[in-house]
């Protein structure tokens, strides 16, 4: 990478760390820059001066949004998410509120905010872990290979996005390299997830995979032990919805033998919907 390109990348990275509340060690930044171009200390000196200057919020303000983000703690962002979520009176308004939210650092690393797809007011709400590459490009949840398997799983019990299923995630921005979302990233999304449940009033939630199930049920227990039974999900506003954890379709694509257990979970869901008088 040319020296100025690596300096720009390093500057972006250090800014992002700072926005995340990480103390950036400028000595390490200087050392990293010097290591990029050991034969040209003068050039390294120029670049590190730029990095130092850009790491100083007071010396180089870069617009209101950036300074605002820097000044806010995780708690502040969660409070802002709560306030935005509370002011949304329907699902399209909630979608717009999520799209306007700047409190998740993942947002700067991906293309689109991926909120929901499917039928508003559907009896079944499917919640996954977060967008992958395809979802990030298209802006809709579960549209890649895992999404196609999800559609087939839903179809097996007469559910589909066009009539009786609503699909979203516990995180709205694609994590780099498709890693799992971190606890802080999930925490800033959670007020929106809760409000989505309050507004949509589903009869049953499917939590797809360990990340979604553990986050929604606030537990460290893994998906293998959570699945196979019904759990209770409750929002801070008091909406109570039964929740059935299932293996994530991406996992089932890799572990076909577990499809039989996923089938049992789908049958359990179907049975519960019938008991609740939900026609599908």
Give yes or no for residue 175 binding ligand URA (CB under 6 A): no
Give yes or no for residue 136 binding ligand URA (CB under 6 A): no
The single residue among 33, 47, 51, 129 that binds ligand URA, judged by CB under 6 A, is 129
Give yes or no for residue 172 binding ligand URA (CB under 6 A): no
The single residue among 103, 123, 141, 245 that binds ligand URA, judged by CB under 6 A, is 141
Q: Which is nearer to ligand URA, 44 or 243 (CB)?
A: 243
Contacts with 276 (C-beta within 8 Å, 6 or more apart), sequence order? 123, 203, 204
Residue nearest to ligand URA (CB): 128
List the interface residues with ligand URA, window 187-216 (CB under 6 A): 208
Q: Which is nearer to ligand URA, 251 or 263 (CB)?
A: 251
Question: How is residue 132 written in tokens?
Answer: 């992958």
Give yes or no for residue 146 binding ligand URA (CB under 6 A): yes
Question: How is residue 205 written in tokens?
Answer: 């939630």
| Measured CA angle at 155 (ends 152, 159), to 5 deg | 130
In degrees and rounded to multiples of 5, residue 134 shows phi and psi of: -65, -45
Pairing of strands 124-128, 165-169: parallel
Q: Which is nearer to ligand URA, 6 or 180 (CB)?
A: 180
Instruction: Collect contacts of 5-9 with beta carbons under 8 A, ≥24 apart.
Output: 6/33, 6/36, 6/47, 7/33, 7/36, 7/47, 7/48, 7/50, 7/51
Residue ranges in contact with ligand URA by CB under 6 A: 128-132, 135, 141-142, 146-147, 169, 208, 250
């Amino acid at each position: 990478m040319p020296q100025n390109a690596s300096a720009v990348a390093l500057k972006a990275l250090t800014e992002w760390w700072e926005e995340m509340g990480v103390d950036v060690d400028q000595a390490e930044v200087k050392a990293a820059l010097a290591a990029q171009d050991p034969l040209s200390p003068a050039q390294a000196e120029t670049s590190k001066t730029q990095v130092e200057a850009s790491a100083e919020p007071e010396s180089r303000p870069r617009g209101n949004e950036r300074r605002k983000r820097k000044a806010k703690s995780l708690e502040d962002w969660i409070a802002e998410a709560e306030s935005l979520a509370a002011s949304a009176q329907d699902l399209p308004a909630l979608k717009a509120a999520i799209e306007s939210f700047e409190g998740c650092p993942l947002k700067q690393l991906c293309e689109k905010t991926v909120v929901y797809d499917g039928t508003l007011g559907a009896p079944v709400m499917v919640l996954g872990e977060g967008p992958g590459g395809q979802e990030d490009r298209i802006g809709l949840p579960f549209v890649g290979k895992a999404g196609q398997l999800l559609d087939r799983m839903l179809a097996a019990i007469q559910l589909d996005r066009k009539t009786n299923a609503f699909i979203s995630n516990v995180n709205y921005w694609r994590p780099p390299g498709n890693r799992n979302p971190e606890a802080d990233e999930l925490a800033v999304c959670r007020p929106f997830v809760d409000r989505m449940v309050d507004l949509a009033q589903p009869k049953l939630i499917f939590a797809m995979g360990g990340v979604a199930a553990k986050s929604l049920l606030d537990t460290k227990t893994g998906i293998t032990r959570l699945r196979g039974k019904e759990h209770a999900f409750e929002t801070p506003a008091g909406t109570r919805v039964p929740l059935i954890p299932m293996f994530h379709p991406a996992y089932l694509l890799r572990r076909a033998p577990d499809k039989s257990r996923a089938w049992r979970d789908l049958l359990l869901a179907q049975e519960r919907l019938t008991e609740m008088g939900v026609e599908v």
